[in-house]
A and B are shown apart, each in its own frame.
Chain A
Amino acid sequence: EIVLTQSPGTLSLSPGETATLSCRTSQSLTGSFLAWYQQKPGQAPRLLIYDASIRATGIPDRFSGSGSGTDFTLTISRLEPEDFAVYYCQPYGDSRTFGQGTKVEIK
């Protein structure tokens, strides 16, 4: 069973700043099969990134994903008010367990 560790738990930033979210896996992910999802209060999660670095349809280019092996990063440049939300990472090879989430809140 792959264990995911997302950090930090909460990120307090101002609009216009850059958010850097980390997702570490206990085992190396083959094929970089890792996705990122965004969830706003009262809404279903939405796919942002898949295959570690490919933006899903309609996702603005201020969202970028990177990494391989066991270390992955979601970067949100120039934070917009609508970007303040909870972000989850999820592998989808041998396991589909979600990370515990990182909350990006307004400072």
Chain B
Amino acid sequence: EVQLLESGGDLVQPGGSLRLSCAASGFTFSSYAMSWVRQAPGMGLEWFSGITDSGGDTYHAESVKGRFTISRDNSKSTLYLQMNSLRAEDTAVYYCTKGSDTSRPYYFDYWGQGTLVTVSS
């Protein structure tokens, strides 16, 4: 059974930093692209960061570019998100998602339960 378990969400002051983790199990982690999707309170879904299976290629949306960094440790089956220079507008539930395929455009077939990040003084 595929499981994605996020951790690291917390209350942090504006300008602060936080690192989220997503522990994966139930599939060959190193074979699949992974992503982070967030959802601000009462709002829709925003895909803002992705990483290829090897970790050699990453994507960051303009909204987080230069502040957030996605990475992975395939030996630990864990996905990370380093968040720096946090702003109030980064307040959201952060979901870890698994890419569906290894050889064609992928959708998100599994989602974690989410971890809440609150940026406030």
Name A's B-contacting residues (CB within 8 A): 31, 33, 35, 37, 39, 44-47, 50, 56, 88, 90, 92-93, 96-101
Contacts and interface: CB of A to CB of B under 8 A. Distances in A.
The 10 closest A-B CB pairs, nearest first, are A35-B107, A44-B111, A98-B45, A96-B47, A92-B107, A33-B105, A50-B107, A101-B44, A92-B105, A93-B105
Interface string B45-60: 1110010000000000
Contact of B95 (A45, A47, A96): A45
Interface footprint category on B: 10 to 19
Interface in B95-121: 95, 100, 105-114
Contact of A90 (B107, B110, B111): B107
Interface of B: 35, 37, 44-47, 50, 95, 100, 105-114
Given A35-B108, A47-B107, 14 more contacts: A31-B105, A37-B45, A37-B108, A44-B112, A44-B113, A45-B108, A45-B111, A50-B100, A88-B44, A88-B45, A90-B108, A93-B105, A96-B50, A98-B45
Contacts of A50: 100, 107, 109
